[in-house]
Structures are given as C-alpha cells and as structure tokens.
C-alpha cells in the first residue's frame, strides 16, 4: 500500500530550487505521495503511449524498487520525471556493468533541458544530476535507455558531456528500437568494487524482509 508522506518527513536524495523558481527533487518510490506517483504515471502514459504511440506497460515491478527524480514548476506542477533503477535491480538488466539505469524520462515543459550545457544555459532547470546517484551508491556511472527521438538528442549532447557515449541498439520487448547510452565518471574497473559493495549491502537489507514474507 502507498502512503501519503508529509514533505517535512520526506527523505530526499536531493532537492534544489533554481533561481527560476523551478524545483528539482529526488527520492525513493516509498517516499513519494500517492498524488505524485499518480501524476507521474499519467504523464508517462501521455508521453510514451499517447504522443509517441509506444506499446508499453506503464507500470512494472521495478517502480517500487526505484528512485525518481522530477522537476516542479513554480506553481508546484510536476513537469519532468525520470526513473532511476538502483544497481541491485539494474544488474538483472545489465549484468556486465550493473550500473544504475535511467529510463522512462519525460519532459513536458520546453524550458527544461535534459543536460546542463552552454547552449541551454537559459533553461529553467535540467534533469541530468549524476552526483545525486553517487549519494545513493558511491558511484555516478549510469546507463540510459532511449528511443530514437531522444537518441538523436543525445548525439548532440554527447560532445558537451565527457563520459557520455553510445553503446548499442536493439529492439525492446515490444519491438521498438532502443538505444543504450552509458555515462562513466570512472572506468568500469574502478566502479566495480564500489557497486559490488552497494549491491551486497542492499541484498543484506532486503533478505530479512524476504524471509519474513515467506516464513
């Protein structure tokens, strides 16, 4: 069951208010209010299914294990959102790197930018905040899953973002072409022990609850 959580009691991964009055927030699914989660789902369906005509399941089991980063405009309306799947669940999708996965991003405000680069210096806010991922697991290395339209945008951003590179393309489970990108603050070799330690700590935390449910 979801629960309403007062903002004063919320455990933020990060929170930042821009001079524009836009606010960026990140927290775990369990810290979102029912209204926030419902808004996120509504806009996810609007962006992917209605506007881009994608076949997808708007809700999957990964939501409840993930973190969400979103942006509110000065009126408090959620106008952008991205899901961040943590390493101990992302490892089943990408067992080689085991990086966090950023996916299902949507932006409905044209004044919000995906990345903070000079050409978009006048943006009211931007989504890309890998340093907040580092607060979770000690390593900001991440995977991004994109469709063709956002893939072309990343091709432009790539020359302004050191560590960002395209990996591969393959169809998703519904047959739509997917494009995988990686951001690496450090090499895979350097990241592996950090990620392994985080995964072990999370597995230790989840094991008691799992045993309780099956007892």
Picking from 42, 81, 103, 85, the residue whose alpha carbon sits closest to that of residue 202 is 85
- Whether residue 53 is predicted with pLDDT greater than 50 in this model: the reply is yes
**Helix (H) or strand (E) segment spanning residue 207:** helix 188-214
Burial of residue 1 (CB within 10 Å: 0-12, 13-18, 19+) is exposed
Query: When comparing pLDDT for 115 and 101, which is higher?
Result: 101
**Does 14 fall in a domain?**
yes
**Does 2 fall in a domain?**
no
Average pLDDT over residues 46-55: 68
**Does 148 fall in a domain?**
yes
Query: When comparing pLDDT for 132 and 158, which is higher?
Result: 132
Picking from 185, 141, 145, the residue whose alpha carbon sits closest to that of residue 166 is 145
Q: Which residue pairs from 169-174 have beta carbons closer than 8 angstroms and sit at least 24 positions apart in sequence?
A: 174/54, 174/55, 174/56
CA distances to 20, 82, 129, 160, 169 from 67, rounded to whole Å, are 25, 9, 13, 26, 25
Average pLDDT over residues 69-81: 98
Q: Report how many domains make up the chain.
A: 1
- Whether residue 177 is predicted with pLDDT greater than 80 in this model: the reply is no
Residue 30 CB coordination number (10 Å): 12
**Does 176 fall in a domain?**
yes
- pTM to 2 decimal places: 0.87
Average pLDDT over residues 170-182: 79
**Does 110 fall in a domain?**
yes
Computed on alpha carbons and rounded to an integer, the radius of gyration of the chain in Å comes to 17
Q: Annotate 116-148 with DSSP letters as a single string.
A: --GGGTT-SEE---HHHHHHHHS---EEEEE-H
CATH number of the domain bearing residue 69:
3.40.630.30
- Whether residue 174 is predicted with pLDDT greater than 50 in this model: the reply is yes
d(CA 37, CA 43): 10
User: What are φ and ψ of residue 76, in 5° steps?
Assistant: 90, 5
What confidence category does residue 178 fall into, taking pLDDT thresholds of 50, 70 and 90?
A: confident
85: helix, coil or strand? strand
Average pLDDT over residues 184-209: 90
DSSP code of 208? H
Q: According to the model, what pLDDT value does residue 212 have?
A: 43
Q: In terms of residue numbers, what domain contains 190?
A: 7-214
**Does 93 fall in a domain?**
yes
CB 128 within 8 A of CB 88: no
**Does 1 fall in a domain?**
no
The percent of residues above 90 in pLDDT, for the chain, comes to 63
């Amino acid at each position: 069951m979801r629960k309403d959580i007062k903002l004063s009691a919320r455990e933020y991964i990060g929170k930042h208010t821009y001079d524009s009055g836009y606010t960026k927030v990140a927290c775990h699914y369990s810290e979102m209010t029912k209204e926030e989660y419902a808004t996120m789902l509504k806009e996810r369906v609007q962006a992917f299914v209605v506007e881009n005509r994608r076949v997808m399941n708007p809700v999957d089991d990964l939501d409840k294990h993930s973190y969400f980063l979103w942006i509110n405009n000065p009126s408090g309306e959620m106008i952008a959102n991205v899901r961040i799947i943590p390493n101990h669940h992302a490892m089943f999708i990408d067992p080689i790197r085991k990086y966090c996965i950023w996916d299902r991003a949507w932006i409905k405000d044209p004044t919000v930018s995906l990345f903070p680069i000079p050409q978009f210096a006048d943006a009211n806010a931007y989504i890309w905040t890998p340093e907040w991922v580092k607060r979770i697991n000690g390593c900001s290395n991440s995977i991004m899953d994109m469709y063709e339209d956002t893939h072309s945008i990343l091709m432009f951003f790539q020359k302004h973002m050191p560590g960002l590179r395209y990996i591969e393309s393959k169809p998703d489970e519904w047959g739509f072409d997917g494009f995988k990108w990686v951001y690496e603050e450090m090499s895979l070799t350097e990241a592996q022990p950090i990620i392994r330690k985080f995964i072990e700590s999370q597995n230790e935390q989840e094991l008691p609850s799992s045993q309780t449910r099956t007892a």
